[in-house]
Structure 1
Amino acid sequence: MSPLVFYLAHFAVLAYALVGGVFLAFSDFIMRSLSLTSGHGGAEAMQVINREVFRWVFMALFLGLAAVSLVLIVHAALWLDGTPATLIVTAGLVYLLGCFAVTVVFNVPMNEALAGMDLSQTSTQSYWTGTYLPRWTFWNTVRTIACGLSAALLLFGLTTLSQLLPA
């Protein structure tokens, strides 16, 4: 593995864990807390959160990891073999499918639907409690697990790779 990709992979382990930590906070207590607010408070707070998430730190990690995952997949598939290659390729695929694709296919459409809703309408409260909270939280939990699994797989891949290298 080239030194650049080796260091990039180490950064990716940390970044997968950081992104997964954000998702964990939402699945563990933020969404539950928002569900306990009175009236439309939770829906309004989530509308604000969904606008603010585009700040550069989180989005740079989230989007950057998609590109880094592709680099790791290609590099491992072309230049590595055995268990390290399998673990590193799987780590990248789990992030791309379980986190990035889930976000694009499930969470973002729900966020966009909520963003366009009028908080004074009863249909908004119905969507918030009956659809958004359970479905968004479910898919967010999938993203949490995917990020944690990606971090673990990549860490194990790097560990296995380092054990195979001459001292």
Structure 2
Amino acid sequence: MSPLLLLLQGAVLAYALVAGVFLSFSDFIMRSLSRTSGSAGVEAMQTINREVFRWVFMALFLGLAVASIGLAAYGGIVVRGGVGMLMMLAGSIYLFGCFGVTIFFNVPMNETLARMIAAEHATSAYWTGTYLPRWTFWNTLRTVACVLSAILLLMALPALA
């Protein structure tokens, strides 16, 4: 099996794994945190946002950003045609729809929440009025982007095998 094929298969798996993490937040974690009493949801999310920097998730998340640049470039420059376009789209959708959304939308909201005192009224207002709906919206977009990237790359695999 060629190294390129192994890399592409690994990228499909990594896209799907990251999508699964994001899906669980959009599907039930954020809803569960919103139903906790008092400041428990805020405190839990503040803790999650500190713990996310562990090596497994960050290696997948950041590694996929680098791999996506390579996939998009390789697809456009070397492979070309329909398969090259699938590779370019898979890489670009992850870069903009997942990585970019994280950097420009989810992380700033996480940083704002981190600076807040969980038990304060202003924190509760931010949590329910801004953070929960907006963060979850952008997170769902990240989920869709990861799923699309995995699907597009899966579609390219048979032609490269």
Q: Which residue of 2 aligns with 1:25?
A: 24
Alignment of 1:87-126 (within 5 A): 87-126=86-125
Q: Between 73-82 and 148-157, report the one with greater CA deviation.
A: 73-82
Take 1:123 and 1:81, find their aligned partners in 2: how far apart are those partners? 52
Q: 1:6-40 CA distances to partner (integer Å, 9 max, x unpaired)?
A: 21111000000000000000000000000000001
**How far apart are 1:157 and its partner, in Å?**
1.1
Q: Which residue of 2 aligns with 1:78?
A: 77
The percentage of aligned residue pairs carrying the same residue is 62
Q: 1:65-94 CA distances to partner (integer Å, 9 max, x unpaired)?
A: 000001111111111121100101100000
Take 1:44 and 1:160, find their aligned partners in 2: how far apart are those partners? 48
Q: 1:80-113 CA distances to partner (integer Å, 9 max, x unpaired)?
A: 1211001011000000000000000000000000
Q: Is the 8 A contact 2:72 2:91 kept in 1?
A: yes
Q: Which residue of 1 aligns with 2:7?
A: 8
Q: Which residue of 2 aligns with 1:143?
A: 142
**How far apart are 1:160 and its partner, in Å?**
3.2
Q: Is the 8 A contact 1:83 1:160 kept in 2?
A: no
Q: Which residue of 1 aligns with 2:62?
A: 63
Q: 1:32-57 CA distances to partner (integer Å, 9 max, x unpaired)?
A: 00000000100100000000000000
**How far apart are 1:3 and its partner, in Å?**
2.6
How many aligned positions are there?
161
Q: Is the 8 A contact 1:43 1:128 kept in 2?
A: yes
Q: Between 149-158 and 69-78, report the one with greater CA deviation.
A: 69-78
Q: Between 70-79 and 9-18, report the one with greater CA deviation.
A: 70-79
- TM-score for both structures, normalised by structure 1: 0.94
Tell me which amino acid in the other structure corresponds to 1:47: Q
Q: Secondary structure at the match of 1:68?
A: helix
Superposition RMSD in Å: 1.1
Q: Is the 8 A contact 2:38 2:119 kept in 1?
A: no
Take 2:148 and 2:75, find their aligned partners in 1: how far apart are those partners? 17
Q: 1:115-145 CA distances to partner (integer Å, 9 max, x unpaired)?
A: 0001121000000000000000000000000
- TM-score for both structures, normalised by structure 2: 0.97
Take 2:32 and 2:24, find their aligned partners in 1: how far apart are those partners? 11
Tell me which amino acid in the other structure corresponds to 2:41: G
